[in-house]
């Protein structure tokens, strides 16, 4: 089906407004290769400049323009009009506090980041560091994250159940640090105990929406869970700890 | 109170690579630091940097050293660059990269486990340390994590609307937070501008939303001196199709990894323009070659040329150029492992900017510093790929250290209420429910098209004189723009403010370009097609008695030990 215009329904709600909000409808002329972001910006520049929308690079490198497009979490810049039909509804991400129209408050994410221990390399390694290529590929996968927070938006644990879970974006951040070949900190146990990782029931929705195709669940969440369980319940380690305790009391 | 007030030792405006590196350096020197970002923290235009960081550690080409990096930088900048800045860059780049690695950045590796380095245009040796084609993102994430774990106060989505210079010394800045619309005055002992470039002044550009030159314009208005504003880098390879993606960057890494350029006649035309360096000549040379081919009618269906990397095979491309693979697949439906890309030049970088001291990064105003793309001097008439990421790390650090040191010996001057009230009134004057004002988006569109048409890759006096008339008309009308809505997250308002800044910078660029009556580096004129020794000068701009004044200074001579490395400039 080909049409020259598209019907765009944009969520509207003012800063601090108490109502549940509404959708304003616009007819937008379609150009070749047009993205949802182009369509929204067309409205801002030509019809209603008071619509608030967040965007930066327009090329899926920065992750600023995350939204729910026809109820699916996507980047607006990367969603082409011709892929989704003649009627498009754009909503802000539901998992974050609302600011205005399509804009949400992401500042809580930085507070979470502050509480994930930073990179702490082994001491006394010869400079410059020698690191093998095969040892960096796992961490590099997670470092591709563009912080669009779509994985947080789609996560049912965050949306419906618990504010205790820090969410997929932050798990891969911790995993990237944990899997740095020279890092000395272990973050897995604290992810499980204090940061709600145990609440994740690995439905893999997060890795499905990731625009960078990072295998969030397979390569970060599950390994971090396993690592934590190993540390917390490893029978050999538990036995070793016991023996150590006996040894200590014996030598007294 | 209608506004909030904060005080600090060092105020950093801009949170890209230069700003974050500066903030980190100042915080490590025990200063109280506030860093401001116009976008969400971590979204700065630095994340768009793809190819790598230039540093002569010689991991791949062991013959490389700082002298060669220094020489490449000066020669490819066609002898307009500041020798001391180039010397600092070349000497300090390896340590800057290793420093980044020590705070957690993970670079691609060589077989032996060293940091991998790739070839890039204009660099004699393989010199660019990289992470696939996402080097800028790696740089930002590493610095961002460090900043978040330091005692640094971050305000993001905050727009600075003026710098405060009342007594000949800079005392801070005033702006408002986009999310709330609330005004904030920041009184600071030292202020660092690290706001990046102004690519969005052109229509076809690789630059993101925020690159509107705010910091450069605010510094100019506050009394600082600008330099080399005619020097605009057109990156040879931007996307041309689909239309909405026009200008988006195709990394030089594609050519660095072996990509070749073809015209519609299937001719590898760079063999003609640059038989020795071919696709990897300096950016100004390759951009002009592509432009010429398109002008001659040898362009592709969508008005570009072909860039081909298919011969390297899928596995290699997915490892080394994953971003490019996804970009073409998602946006253009092109599989670059099997098909050729269509590319054409796109506005990418500004060699000019705020004039600073190479040692301290201080501007002509005491208490005001600048680092990164907003500062001018290092790149002369043409920037080498990878030198900007090195620049932001090295000069960001220097700016942070010196701003912090100076702050220790100076007292802060609190920004007065009258001054803040005046600024609030000025900003709010753009808001109106009436619809009789000028539409800022339409005016901005006109400005951007004027820059594309009248100050492009090839220039001449007639076009530029026409251009300056249009710009002055836009500048006049920009003061009468009106938009609806309130202070919070109002794109119309932000566009009014940006337009005011962009119009004055556009005028500076035209004046500077008209002034330089020769062709050198990125500045090419068909009415003055030759390079001329008379014009081995830097063109300086400042505001005097309300008008933009233009002057020249001779390019400072390098000391003997460096002059030998550079060699004599030749004029054919």
Average pLDDT of chain A is 93
Q: Chain A residues with CB inside 8 Å of B102's CB?
A: 121, 129
Is the CB of B113 less than 8 angstroms away from the CB of A131?
A: yes
Strand partners, B554: B537
The closest CB to that of A33, out of B242, B441, B492, belongs to B242
Q: Is residue B559 part of a domain?
A: no
Is the CB of B484 less than 8 angstroms away from the CB of A49?
A: yes
Residue B214 CA, chain-centre distance (Å), reads 12
| Residue A161 tokens, joined | 């159940």
Is the CB of B131 less than 8 angstroms away from the CB of A57?
A: no
The predicted pLDDT at position A241 comes to: 79
Q: Chain B residues with CB inside 8 Å of A147's CB?
A: 42-43
Q: Chain B residues with CB inside 8 Å of A106's CB?
A: 40
Q: Which of A34, A43, A57 to mutate to test the interface with B (most CBs of B within 10 A)?
A: A57
Contact B19, B12 (CB under 8 A): yes
Domain match, B433 and B443 both = yes
Domain match, B288 and B178 both = no
Domain match, B438 and B307 both = no
Is the CB of A64 less than 8 angstroms away from the CB of B40?
A: yes
At B121, give phi and psi (nearest 5°).
-55, 130
Nearest Cα residue to B207 out of B415, B45, B395, B424 = B45
User: Tens of pLDDT along B373-403?
Assistant: 999 999 999 999 999 999 999 999 999 999 9
Q: Which of A128, A210, A212 to mutate to test the interface with B (most CBs of B within 10 A)?
A: A128
**Given the residues B235, B288, B398, B402, the one annotated as active site:** B235
The rounded distance, in Å, linking the Cα atoms of B71 and B567 is 9
DSSP B520: B
Q: Where in chain A is the domain with CATH 3.10.20.30?
A: 5-104
Domain match, B33 and B138 both = yes
Q: Residue B453 CB: number of other CB atoms within 10 A?
A: 13
The predicted pLDDT at position A3 comes to: 61
Q: Chain B residues with CB inside 8 Å of A42's CB?
A: none
The rounded distance, in Å, linking the Cα atoms of A38 and B355 is 37
Interface residue A158 vs chain B (CB under 8 A):
no
Nearest Cα residue to A75 out of A212, A221, A216 = A212
Q: Is residue B568 part of a domain?
A: no
A87-91 sheet: strands from edge to edge = A22-29, A5-12, A87-91, A66-69, A72-75
- The residues of chain B scoring below 50 in pLDDT are none
Q: Is residue B565 part of a domain?
A: no
Exposure string of B113-152, with b = 16+ CB inside 10 Å and e = fewer, is bbbbbbbbbbbbbbbbbbbbbbbbbbbbbbbbbbbbbbeb
Q: Is residue B50 part of a domain?
A: yes
CA dihedral A58, A60, A66, A68 (to 10 degrees): 100
Helices (H), B126-265: 135-148, 214-222, 253-256
Q: Chain B residues with CB inside 8 Å of A99's CB?
A: 179, 488-489
Q: Is residue B521 part of a domain?
A: yes
Domain match, B20 and B147 both = yes
Q: What is the pTM of this model?
A: 0.96
- For the domain made up of A5-104, the CATH class stated in words is alpha beta
Q: Chain B residues with CB inside 8 Å of A62's CB?
A: 39, 43, 47-48, 208
Distance (Å) of CA B465 to CA B350, B454, B469, B486, B547 = 21, 9, 6, 38, 17
Interface residue A112 vs chain B (CB under 8 A):
no
Q: What residue numbers bound the domain in which B442 lies?
A: 423-535
| Residue A130 tokens, joined | 């020698």
Chain B contacts in chain A segment 170-229 (CB below 8 A)? 177, 180
Contacts for B256 with CB less than 8 Å, ≥ 6 apart: B51, B118, B119, B120, B121, B128, B280, B385
Contact B143, B37 (CB under 8 A): no
Helices (H), B234-369: 253-256, 270-273, 283-295, 314-320, 322-332
Nearest Cα residue to B245 out of A148, A43, A56, A34 = A34
At B531, which CATH number? 1.20.58.100
Nearest Cα residue to B223 out of B287, B271, B170, B282 = B170
Q: Is residue B491 part of a domain?
A: yes
The predicted pLDDT at position A240 comes to: 84
Alpha-carbon distance A187 to nearest alpha carbon in chain B (angstroms): 15
The rounded distance, in Å, linking the Cα atoms of B352 and B538 is 10
Contact A48, A23 (CB under 8 A): no
Domain match, B175 and B221 both = yes
Look-up: residue for tokens 């009308």? B477
Domain match, B92 and B172 both = yes
Measured CA angle at B207 (ends B203, B212), to 5 deg = 75
Domain match, B256 and B303 both = yes
DSSP B535: G
The closest CB to that of A33, out of B43, B112, B243, belongs to B243
Look-up: residue for tokens 């740095």? A180
At B280, which CATH number? 3.90.700.10
Q: Chain A residues with CB inside 8 Å of B249's CB?
A: 59
The rounded distance, in Å, linking the Cα atoms of B388 and B377 is 12
Q: Domains in chain B: how many in total?
A: 3
The predicted pLDDT at position A252 comes to: 46
Contact B480, B438 (CB under 8 A): yes
Q: Residue B435 CB: number of other CB atoms within 10 A?
A: 9
Q: Residue B60 CB: number of other CB atoms within 10 A?
A: 18
Domain match, B110 and B32 both = yes
Do you find a cis peptide bond into B242, omega within 30 degrees of 0?
Answer: yes
Alpha-carbon distance B354 to nearest alpha carbon in chain A (angstroms): 24
The rounded distance, in Å, linking the Cα atoms of B76 and B280 is 12
Domain match, B65 and B8 both = yes
Q: Architecture of domain A107-235 in CATH?
A: Orthogonal Bundle (1.10)
User: Tens of pLDDT along B240-254?
Assistant: 988 889 999 999 999
Last residue of a domain, which of B347, B369, B392? Answer: B347
Task: Place A244 in a pLDDT band, splitting at 50, 70 and 90.
Answer: confident
Is the CB of A64 less than 8 angstroms away from the CB of B43?
A: yes
The closest CB to that of B40, out of A49, A106, A119, belongs to A106
In A57-215, where do the E strands start and end?
Answer: 66-69, 72-75, 87-91, 98-100, 103-104
Is the CB of A31 less than 8 angstroms away from the CB of B39?
A: no
Four-residue CA torsion sign, A78, A84, A85, A89 = negative
The rounded distance, in Å, linking the Cα atoms of B144 and A110 is 10
Interface residue A121 vs chain B (CB under 8 A):
yes
In A15-54, where do the E strands start and end?
Answer: 22-29
Domain match, B170 and B214 both = yes
| Pairs of residues, one from chain A and one from chain B, whose beta carbons lie less than 8 Å apart | 168
Domain match, B167 and B253 both = no
| Residue A204 tokens, joined | 């893999």
Provide ipTM, 2 decimals: 0.94
Q: Residue B295 CB: number of other CB atoms within 10 A?
A: 11
**Given the residues B21, B69, B123, B255, the one annotated as active site:** B255
Q: Is residue B44 part of a domain?
A: yes
The predicted pLDDT at position A218 comes to: 98
The answer to whether residue B235 is catalytic is yes
Q: Where in chain A is the domain with CATH 1.10.1060.10?
A: 107-235
Strand B128-129 relative to strand B158-165, pairing: unpaired
The closest CB to that of A33, out of B154, B244, B322, belongs to B244
What's the residue count for chain A?
252
Contacts for B234 with CB less than 8 Å, ≥ 6 apart: B283, B284, B287, B291, B345, B346, B347, B348, B456, B457, B522
The predicted pLDDT at position A83 comes to: 87
Chain B contacts in chain A segment 63-82 (CB below 8 A)? 63-64, 78, 80
The answer to whether residue B255 is catalytic is yes
Q: Chain B residues with CB inside 8 Å of A34's CB?
A: 242, 244
| Residue B297 tokens, joined | 């009618």
């Amino acid at each position: 089906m080909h049409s020259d215009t598209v019907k765009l329904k944009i969520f509207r709600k003012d800063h601090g407004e108490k109502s549940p909000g509404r959708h304003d409808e616009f007819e937008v002329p379609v150009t070749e290769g047009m993205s949802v972001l182009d369509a929204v910006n067309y409205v801002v520049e030509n019809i209603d400049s008071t619509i608030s929308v967040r965007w930066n690079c327009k090329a899926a490198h920065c992750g600023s323009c995350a939204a729910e497009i026809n109820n699916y979490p996507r980047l607006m810049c990367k969603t082409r009009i011709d892929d989704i039909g003649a009627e498009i509804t754009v909503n802000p991400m539901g998992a974050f506090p609302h600011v205005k129209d399509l804009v949400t408050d992401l500042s809580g994410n930085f507070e979470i980041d502050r509480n994930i221990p930073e990179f702490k390399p082994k001491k006394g390694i010869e400079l410059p560091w020698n690191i093998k290529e095969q040892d960096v590929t796992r961490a590099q996968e997670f470092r591709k994250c563009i912080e669009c927070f779509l994985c947080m938006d789609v996560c049912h644990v965050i949306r419906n159940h618990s504010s205790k879970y820090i969410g997929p974006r932050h798990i891969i951040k911790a995993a990237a640090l944990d899997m740095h070949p020279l890092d000395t900190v272990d973050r897995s146990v604290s992810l499980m105990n204090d940061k709600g990782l145990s609440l994740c029931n690995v439905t893999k929705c997060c890795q499905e929406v990731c625009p960078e195709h990072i295998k969030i669940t397979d390569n970060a969440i599950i390994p971090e869970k396993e690592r934590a369980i190993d540390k917390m319940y490893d029978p050999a380690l538990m036995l070793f700890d016991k023996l150590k305790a006996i040894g200590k009391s014996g030598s007294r | 109170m209608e506004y909030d007030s904060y005080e600090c030792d060092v105020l950093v405006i801009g949170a890209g690579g230069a700003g974050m590196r500066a903030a980190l350096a100042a915080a490590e020197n025990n200063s109280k630091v506030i860093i401001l970002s116009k976008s969400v923290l971590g979204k700065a235009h630095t994340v768009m940097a793809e190819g790598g960081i230039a540093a002569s550690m010689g991991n791949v080409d062991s013959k490389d050293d700082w002298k060669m990096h220094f020489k490449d930088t000066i020669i490819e900048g066609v002898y307009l660059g500041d020798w001391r800045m180039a010397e600092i860059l070349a000497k300090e780049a390896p340590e800057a990269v290793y420093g980044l690695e020590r705070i957690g950045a993970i670079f691609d590796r060589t077989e032996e486990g060293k940091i991998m380095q790739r070839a890039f245009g204009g660099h004699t040796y393989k010199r660019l340390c990289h992470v696939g084609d996402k080097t800028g993102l790696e740089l930002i994430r590493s610095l961002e994590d460090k900043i978040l774990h330091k005692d640094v106060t971050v305000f993001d989505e905050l727009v600075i609307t003026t710098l405060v210079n009342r007594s000949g010394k800079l005392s801070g800045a005033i702006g408002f937070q986009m999310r709330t619309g609330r005004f904030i005055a920041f009184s600071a002992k030292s202020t660092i501008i690290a706001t990046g470039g102004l690519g969005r002044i052109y229509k076809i550009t690789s630059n993101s939303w925020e690159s509107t030159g705010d910091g450069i314009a605010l510094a100019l208005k506050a009394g600082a001196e600008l330099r080399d504003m005619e020097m605009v880098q057109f990156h040879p390879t931007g996307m041309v199709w689909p239309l909405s993606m026009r200008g988006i960057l195709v990394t030089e890494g594609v050519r660095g990894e072996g990509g070749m350029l073809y015209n519609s006649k299937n001719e590898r035309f760079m063999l003609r323009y640059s038989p020795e360096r071919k696709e990897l000549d300096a950016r100004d040379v390759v951009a002009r070659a592509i432009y010429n081919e398109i002008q001659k009618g040898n362009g592709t269906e969508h008005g570009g040329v072909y860039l081909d990397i298919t011969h390297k095979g899928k596995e290699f491309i997915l490892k080394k150029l994953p971003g490019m693979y996804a970009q073409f697949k998602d946006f253009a439906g092109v599989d670059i492992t099997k098909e050729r890309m269509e590319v054409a030049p796109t506005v990418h970088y500004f060699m000019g900017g705020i004039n600073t001291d190479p040692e301290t990064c201080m501007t002509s105003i005491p208490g005001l510093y600048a680092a990164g793309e907003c500062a001018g001097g290092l790149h002369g008439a043409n920037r080498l790929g990878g030198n900007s990421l090195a620049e932001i790390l090295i000069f960001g650090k220097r700016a942070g250290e010196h701003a912090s040191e100076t702050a220790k010996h100076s007292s802060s001057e609190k920004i007065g209420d009258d001054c803040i009230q005046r600024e609030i009134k000025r900003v709010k004057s753009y808001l109106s429910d009436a619809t009789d004002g000028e539409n800022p988006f339409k005016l901005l569109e006109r400005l951007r098209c004027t820059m594309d048409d009248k100050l492009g890759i090839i220039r001449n006096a007639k076009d530029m004189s026409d251009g300056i008339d249009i710009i002055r008309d836009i500048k006049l009308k920009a003061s009468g723009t009106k938009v609806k809505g309130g202070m919070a997250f109002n794109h119309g308002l932000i566009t009014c403010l940006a337009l005011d800044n962009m119009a004055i910078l556009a005028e500076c660029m035209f004046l500077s370009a008209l002034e330089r009556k020769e062709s050198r580096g990125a500045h090419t004129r068909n009415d003055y097609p030759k390079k001329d020794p008379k014009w081995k000068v830097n063109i300086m701009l400042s505001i005097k008695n309300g008008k933009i004044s233009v002057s020249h200074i001779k390019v400072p001579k390098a000391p003997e030990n460096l002059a030998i490395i550079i060699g004599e400039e030749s004029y054919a």
